[in-house]
């Protein structure tokens, strides 16, 4: 990887694992619980957040010297809101059924704490290229968890992936269902997302001792 | 860079410029994409109407699969033979009846002098005339709406329900296949008189074998959505009764 310096690489890779916004910083949980019942919306949400956070970080970073500090939070909000409305409109125009499925959650990207957090903590103090990497990195870290959770919830809850019946047909009792396997209906409900995220945090911390806090 | 970003005048000018830039950007996007968004909404309505008539791409027992958006306009033209607008006693043919916004009509109808325009879609499937009426009401959190396909005796041939923000797993189940399929065979007319179909709890008929009781089994944990749905059917389908009476003379 000659493209990125070591420091830049860290910006992308750190949020994927050791500084993951969901599992380590525990930010952006609400949307992670709400939309991960299936894999497809999880991926669309991940892509939307990558766009909003990547572009948003660059915009804020470019304006960092001219934003009046008194109204900087408002300026940040306007930037996120604008980008989110653009994403929403584009989805409505090109992926209507998907935008119906995600309904309010696209709008709720505005309130996703990861986004404002990165604007405030990173983009206001760093150049556009580094901000872009940081934004994409954090959004990827968020997206990876979303996709993992979505994968397990759809597989165990509905027995499908992307809507394809990978475990057989639950009504006609083919595949796994023929030997008595049943879908876990609880997986489809939001509380189970919390438990899945909890398990991911548990696995991650038990593998990486550096993440365990001293008491 | 010697701009003093702490000055009040600077802050105000910055804010004004920001608002103008963002405003025109969003306005540009909105008007640029509007034709496509409108087309999508139109397709969705046509898909819903056809779904209620039983024209869909369902395969599995739990599927709710519409005709694809590419094909929907052709299929709509093929199956829907007539679109009516009913105003009072008069029913006029109007090929843009499906563009009538029944939410706006309901608001206008509060004015006593206004005669509400009721759209009705008449289609033929397997040689049988099917009448599809739109309905709209309130669920627990927000609007619910749907399309009811009936024969000329107001016996339900199929329904489609949708909602804006009912609770997933509870009220949102109204758009599930098992719930919608329950309505098929129930009739709004009993001995020639209008009586609405109720979403009933404890009707001792969970499999819905009895098609003459004008009741379908309610969803657990969705009482208010179910009551809203009952009220919606009663209020909106009732308005079509005079027209159906003229059919059966």
Contact B14 A90 (CB under 8 A): no
A82 domain-assigned: yes
A40 domain-assigned: yes
For chain A, how many structural domains are there in total? 1
Question: Is A68's Cβ below 8 Å from some Cβ in B?
Answer: yes
Residue A80 belongs to domain spanning: 28-151
Task: Please identify among residues 97-136 of chain A the ones whose CB lies closer than 8 Å to any CB of chain B.
Answer: 103-104
Residues with Cβ within 8 Å of A55's Cβ and at least 6 positions away in sequence, in order, are A83, A135
CA torsion, points B198, B202, B206, B208, in degrees to nearest 10? -40
Residue spans of alpha helices (H) in chain B: 8-53, 69-79, 102-108, 177-181, 223-238, 241-247
Residue among B167, B168, B171 with most chain A CBs within 10 A, to mutate: B168
Which helix (DSSP H) or strand (DSSP E) does residue B163 occupy?
Answer: strand B156-163
Closest CA of chain B from A136, distance in Å: 23
What chain A residue is nearest to B68 in terms of C-alpha separation?
A97
Structure tokens at B198: 């109720």
Task: Give the distance between the most distant pair of CA atoms in chain B.
Answer: 86
A1 domain-assigned: no
Nearest by Cα to A48 from A125, A112, A4: A112
d(CA B118, CA B91): 9
Nearest by Cα to B48 from B138, B137, B121, B141: B121
Question: Is B36's Cβ below 8 Å from some Cβ in A?
Answer: yes
Contact B168 A37 (CB under 8 A): yes
Task: Compare A101 and B42 and report the one with higher pLDDT.
Answer: B42
Question: Is B192's Cβ below 8 Å from some Cβ in A?
Answer: no
Structure tokens at B93: 């043919």
A205 domain-assigned: no
Structure tokens at A197: 């995220």
Task: Compare A148 and B167 and report the one with higher pLDDT.
Answer: A148
Question: Is B23's Cβ below 8 Å from some Cβ in A?
Answer: no
Q: What is the pLDDT of residue A1?
A: 44
Q: What percent of chain A has pLDDT over 90?
A: 19
Q: Is the dihedral of CA B201, B207, A176, B65 positive or negative?
A: negative
Task: Please identify among residues 54-73 of chain B the ones whose CB lies closer than 8 Å to any CB of chain A.
Answer: 60-62, 69
Provide the β-strand partners of residue B117: B87
Q: Is the dihedral of CA A184, A189, A193, A199 positive or negative?
A: negative
Name the residue among A37, A171, A189 with its Cβ closest to that of B60. Answer: A171
Interface confidence, given as ipTM, is: 0.71
Closest CA of chain A from B235, distance in Å: 27
Q: At what angle do helices A6-13 and A128-158 cross, to 10 degrees?
A: 30
Whether A2 shows a pLDDT value over 60: the answer reads no
Q: Is the dihedral of CA A189, A195, A196, A198 positive or negative?
A: positive
Q: What is the pLDDT of residue B147?
A: 93
d(CA A124, CA A127): 8
Return averaged pLDDT per consecutive 10 residues of chain B, 249 residues in all.
76 92 93 90 89 83 78 85 84 81 83 84 87 91 91 90 81 86 87 84 74 83 89 90 83
Q: How far is CA A121 from CA A115, A126, A135, A138, in A?
A: 10, 9, 11, 12
Question: Is A30's Cβ below 8 Å from some Cβ in B?
Answer: no
């Amino acid at each position: 990887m000659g493209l990125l310096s070591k420091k830049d690489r860290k910006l992308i890779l750190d949020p994927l694992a050791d500084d993951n916004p969901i599992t380590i910083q525990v930010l952006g949980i609400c949307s992670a619980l709400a939309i991960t019942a299936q894999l497809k919306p999880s991926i669309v949400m991940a892509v939307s957040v990558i766009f909003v956070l990547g572009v948003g970080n660059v915009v804020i970073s470019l304006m960092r010297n001219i934003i009046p500090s008194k109204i900087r939070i408002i300026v940040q909000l306007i930037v996120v809101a604008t980008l989110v409305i653009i994403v929403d409109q584009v989805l409505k125009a090109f992926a209507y059924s998907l935008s119906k499925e995600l309904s309010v959650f696209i709008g709720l990207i505005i309130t996703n704490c990861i986004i404002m957090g990165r604007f405030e903590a990173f983009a206001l103090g760093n150049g556009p290229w580094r901000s872009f990497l940081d934004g994409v990195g954090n959004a990827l870290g968020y997206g990876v968890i979303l996709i993992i959770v979505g994968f397990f919830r759809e597989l165990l809850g509905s027995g499908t992936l992307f809507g394809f019946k990978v475990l057989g047909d639950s009504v006609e009792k083919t595949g796994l269902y023929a030997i008595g396997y049943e879908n876990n209906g609880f997986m489809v409900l939001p509380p189970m997302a919390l438990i899945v995220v909890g398990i991911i945090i548990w696995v991650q911390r038990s593998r990486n001792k550096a993440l365990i806090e001293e008491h | 860079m010697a701009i003093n970003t702490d000055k009040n005048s600077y802050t105000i000018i910055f804010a004004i410029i920001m608002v103008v830039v963002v405003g025109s950007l969003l306005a540009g996007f909105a008007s640029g994409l509007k034709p496509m968004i409108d087309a999508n909404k139109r397709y969705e309505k046509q898909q819903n109407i056809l779904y209620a008539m039983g024209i869909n791409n369902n395969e599995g027992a739990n599927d709710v699969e519409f005709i694809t958006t590419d094909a929907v306009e052709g299929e709509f033209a093929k199956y829907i033979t007539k679109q009516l607008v009913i105003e009072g006693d008069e029913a006029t043919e109007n090929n843009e009846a499906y563009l009538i916004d029944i939410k706006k009509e309901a608001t206008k109808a509060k004015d006593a002098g206004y005669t509400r325009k009721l759209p009705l879609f008449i289609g033929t499937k397997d040689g049988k005339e099917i009448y599809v009426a739109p309905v709209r009401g309130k669920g627990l959190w927000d609007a619910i709406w749907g399309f009811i396909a009936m024969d000329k005796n107001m016996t339900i041939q199929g329904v489609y329900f949708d909602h804006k923000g009912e609770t997933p797993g509870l009220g949102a189940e109204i758009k599930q296949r098992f719930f919608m399929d329950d309505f098929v065979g129930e009739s709004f007319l009993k001995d020639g008189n209008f009586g609405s179909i109720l979403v009933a709890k404890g009707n001792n008929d969970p499999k819905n074998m009895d098609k003459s009781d004008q009741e379908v089994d309610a969803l657990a944990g969705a009482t208010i959505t179910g009551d809203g749905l009952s009220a919606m059917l009663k209020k909106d389908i009732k308005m079509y009764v005079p027209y159906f009476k003229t059919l059966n003379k």
